[in-house]
Structure 1
Amino acid sequence: MTEHSEEKLFNKGFISITLINFVVYLVYYLLMVIIAVIAQDTLHASLGQAGLASGIYIIGTLIARLFMGKMLELLGRKAVLRYGALFYLITTIAYLYIPSIGILYLVRLLNGFGYGTVSTATNAIVTAYIPKSKHGEGINYYGLSTSLAAAIGPFIGMVLLNTMSFYFIILFSIVLIFLTTIACFIFPVKNIQLSPEHKASLSRWTFDSFIEKKVLFISFIAFLMGLSYSSVLSFLSSYAKAIDLVGASSFFFVVYALVITATRPLSGRIFDARGENAVMYPSFIFLTVGLLFLSMTTTSWMLLVSGGLIGLGYGTFMSNGQAVCLKASPTSHRIGIALSTYFIGLDLGLGVGPYLLGELRTILSFSGLYMVASSIPVICIVLYALFYRSKVIVHDSFSAE
């Protein structure tokens, strides 16, 4: 890349990898919203078995994130992206043959591993195409592909579920992943050149070779934010039925996506100009207010306003948390591990949230459940404030010496 192209954010590489990432996440969200229904209707699974069919995907994703953070640099980003996409395609094709719930579990686990591999690769690869002066803005535009997929995927999934067969939905997904796999093989990925010392440190089976300690705190905050947001992903449709707002609920994620699309570039520029605290604290506050508003919702406009506020909260945090990891990553060869550590936290929150909050649902109303979920970002504010205060104190004491 030339000096000029490095300073230009919307270069060919940045746009290409962002589009690839969009389709990878789109298929993930599309299948996530339909798989429990298919398990119950086609395989006559119980509610618990259907929930496991959805959740086991996250386990596959977490395994991939844990191993692929280091493999990105050891095997090369190019190989991980290309063969990960191929594996994602093969395991998506495997949905065409699911005679039993056990086979579905296996396919979901392997498909989750494929998705985790490709998304871990794209998250690291895009950093090579973002100018250092525009980390916040670049990650926010790239994160827009994930957020839009999180809104459009479930919407397409629900529409297809009501109008088409399961096999059509799978064939549709296969075509999308097939085109993405071709794009991954065409896309010119630049591998990081490792020094012998870096290669040796990544090759060891130590905690440091899998997890980046410098981003553990923000990854724990991501876990809590994912836990809080999982209440929306898991229970919104049931809650909408309970309060008789099914029609409006289909537009919830549309409002969420529109708000993120409108605010992402601005939050990225604020991050670059004023630092992470200027976007982190508002994201915690917006998610708290959005979930509180959702707990009190009685009309369509209230439901849609809460969708916008939750978008401002969780959507803003998701990509800016990624930018914090990029900023905290000590060297370029640790970026893959830093980002995989962050997404392990986020995915773990989204994965265990439905189970933990589902257990709470047995003793609380939906309204009570969303009030509990709204308290989690408040805990994030306290922890974040304490952590950054201690960081400043430590920094000051070192500089005083």
Structure 2
Amino acid sequence: MQKSASATASTQPKLWTRDLVLIILVNLCVFTNHIMSLSTFPYFIESLGGTEAIAGICAAAFSFVAVIIRPFIGWWLDNGVRRVALVIGLVLMGLAPAGYIVVPVLSLAIVLRMIHGVGLSFSNSTTATVASDVICRPRFAEGMGYFGMATALASAIAPALGLTLMENFGFQVLYGVAALIAVAGLILFSFVHAPRVDVPHKKLDLRTIINRDSLPATVTMLVFMFTFGALENFVAIYATNEGLPSGSIYFLIMSAMLLLVRVTLGKLVDQRGEAFFVYTCNAAMLVAFLLLAFAPSTPTFFLSAMLAGYAFGGLEPSLQSMAVHTSTDETRGSANSTFLCGYDIGYGLGGGVAGVLITSMGYSAMWAIVSLACVVSVAIYFFWARHSDTSFSKRLAQKRQ
């Protein structure tokens, strides 16, 4: 028995490589820079005389430019470009927060936020594509789940770090640290030796910038991201207004749960398919929002954070794996960029709609209305996405027949 088990272990495809570890660390820098700026940006806008609605418009503008540019980044990546794209992204992610320090003016802050969105588009499209290059296919969903741990760690560290720096040292120190984190990402990426991708040059047209195979997973994620856009932009201010524990505690609990899900359940998509996560994660986020809307208290605030962590921790890597796992060297960039476009659209619209709803109807109504996105996301998956050829669940069901 021991000999058999040893033989099985030796034939298990190797998942952890030097390049995978390094690209996870680069992704950690990308999302720490992004999230520490994101969680504090409504306060920055408020300090410049703006309102929640203006903060929502900034979230929408951030995502709008990301959506516009991301398909072209995907086309560029599909033509074999990796290193230059990520360098551009990290440079912009360093310059934007530096600009917040140098030019603290409301109108220019919105412009700089859009530049920050361009930097994020270049950066996380490329890190996801490099990760897709280096992860072995038999353990692909598991590997993408571990790659997504960088987002979990950043979600745990960055809001608390950003809010602490803002409260104790001010916006100059906060955004100075964010810029330095982007520089750290550049240094780490210089040590990555991802496989060289030699592909035929692809013409720039609609078919090469939008990956049709990834659309079912993308649209399912897009609608779900309405909730995450509202949550990340406004839960900290909501907690302050309601006298609840700080937003940094909410993000810390949410991220701890998110990390736990990705460490313990990462293999489930490879083994059972994505359907389990689509249904349970949307249900968890629905309850998390209804608790914020109708039962705000310290215990329900913490429970909401745990449910939100499970929801995003399980759904995002499972749907990204679904969107990308059938792609080739020639389509991997567009598959990642198409999926992340959906992520950006949902996130931006969620933040923008939430800001308008807060201004016109208040926080409770906003949480309740935005929670309906979870119902729509499940309906899209049930009636369309689960029947697509990219569905892990469909493929596993066919194998069992």
Q: What is the aligned partner in structure 2 of residue 399 from structure 1? A: none
Q: Deviations over 1:274-298 (max 9, x none)?
A: 1122322222222222222332333
Change beyond 3 A, Cα 1:303–1:336: same
Matched, 1:25 2:35: no
Aligned partner of residue 261 in structure 1, secondary structure = helix
For residue 13 of structure 1, what is the aligned residue in structure 2?
Answer: 19
Counterpart position of 2:40:
34
Q: CA deviation at 1:160?
A: 0.8
2:34 maps to amino acid: Y
Equivalent residue, structure 1, for 2:168: 163
Q: How does 1:345-364 map to 2 (within 5 A)?
A: 345-362=342-359, 364=361
Partner deviation per Cα, 1:172-227 (whole Å, 9 max, x = no partner): 122211121122223223332113xxx2xx223x2111110111122111111111
The amino acid of 1:203's aligned partner reads: K
* Alpha-carbon distance in structure 1 between the residues aligned to 2:58 and 2:234: 16
CA contact (8 A) 1:322 1:342 kept: yes
Q: In 1, Cα distance between the equivalents of 2:54 and 2:287?
A: 34
Q: CA deviation at 1:119?
A: 1.1
- 1:292–1:371 contact (8 Å) kept in structure 2: yes
What SS class does the counterpart of residue 7 from structure 1 fall into? coil
Work out the CA distance in 2 between the residues paired with 1:50 and 1:389: 36
Which residues in structure 2 correspond to 1:99-118 (within 5 Å)? 100-118=105-123
SS of 2:296's partner is coil
Amino acid of the structure 1 residue aligned with 2:13: E
Distance in 1 of aligned mates of 2:243 and 2:50: 27
Matches within 5 A, 1:205-216: 206-216=205-215
The one-letter code sitting in structure 2 at the alignment partner of 1:134 is: R
CA contact (8 A) 1:63 1:113 kept: no
Gaps of 5+ in 2: 1-9, 396-401
Residue 318 (structure 2) aligns with? 320
**Matched residue, 1:256:** 254
CA deviation vs aligned residue, 1:360-399 (integer Å, no higher than 9, x gap): 335544333222222221222222111156559xx99xxx
| Larger deviation, residues 54-63 vs 167-176 | 54-63
Correspondence for 1:287 among 285, 288, 294: 285
Retained in 1: the 8 A contact 2:293–2:368?
yes
2:80 matches 1:64: no
Aligned to 1:203: 203
More moved, 338-347 vs 367-376: 367-376
- Judge conservation of contact 1:139–1:319 (CA < 8 Å) in 2: yes
Partner residue, 1:223: 222
Tell me the C-alpha RMSD between the 2 structures.
2.5
Question: Aligned AA for 1:56?
Answer: A
Mapping for residues 127-146 of structure 1, pairs under 5 Å: 127-146=132-151
Q: Measure, in 1, the Cα distance between the counterparts of 2:234 and 2:113.
A: 21
Given the alignment, which residue of 331, 340, 343 partners 1:343?
A: 340
Matching residue within 176, 192, 195 for 1:190 = 195
- Residues 1:233 and 2:232 are matched in the alignment: yes
Aligned residues: 382
Counterparts of 1:5 and 1:44, CA distance in 2: 61
Instruction: Judge which range, 68-77 or 156-165, deviates more.
Output: 68-77
Deviations 1:281-333 (A, max 9, x none): 2222222222223323332111101111111112211111111112243x221
Offset at residue 134 of structure 1 (A): 0.9
Q: Residues of 2 paired with 1:55 and 1:391: CA distance? A: 30
| Pair 327,359 (structure 1): closer, same or farther in 2 beyond 3 Å | same
Contact 2:93–2:120 (8 Å) recurs in 1: yes
Percent sequence identity over aligned pairs: 21
Say which is worse superposed, 233-242 or 281-290, in terms of deviation. 233-242
Instruction: Tell me, yes or no, if the aligned pair for 1:248 and 1:304 is still in contact at 8 Å.
Output: no
Report the TM-score when normalising by structure 2: 0.87
SS at match of 1:332: coil
- Shifted more, 103-112 versus 268-277: the winner is 103-112
Partner of 2:371: 374
Alignment-mate amino acid for residue 248 of structure 2: S
Using the size of structure 1 for normalisation, the TM-score is 0.87
Q: Deviations over 1:95-125 (max 9, x none)?
A: 3321533332332222221221011100100
The alignment partner of 2:16 has SS state of coil
Alpha-carbon distance in structure 1 between the residues aligned to 2:386 and 2:62:
37
Per-residue CA deviations over 1:43-79 (Å, capped at 9, x if unaligned) read: 4445544444444322332233121111113251122
Distance 1:368 1:90, change over 3 A: closer
Matched letter for residue 327 of structure 1: H
Q: Which runs of 5+ in 1 are unaligned?
A: 397-401
Higher relative contact order, chain-length normalized (CA < 8 Å, sep 6+) = 2
In structure 1, how many angstroms separate the alpha carbons of the residues matched to 2:272 and 2:81? 34
- Relative distance call for 1:298 and 1:83 in structure 2 (3 A) is closer
Tell me, in whole angstroms, the C-alpha distance in 2 between the residues paired with 1:90 and 1:298: 39
Instruction: Give the structure 2 partner of residue 79 of structure 1.
Output: 84
Counterpart of 2:243 in structure 1 is 244
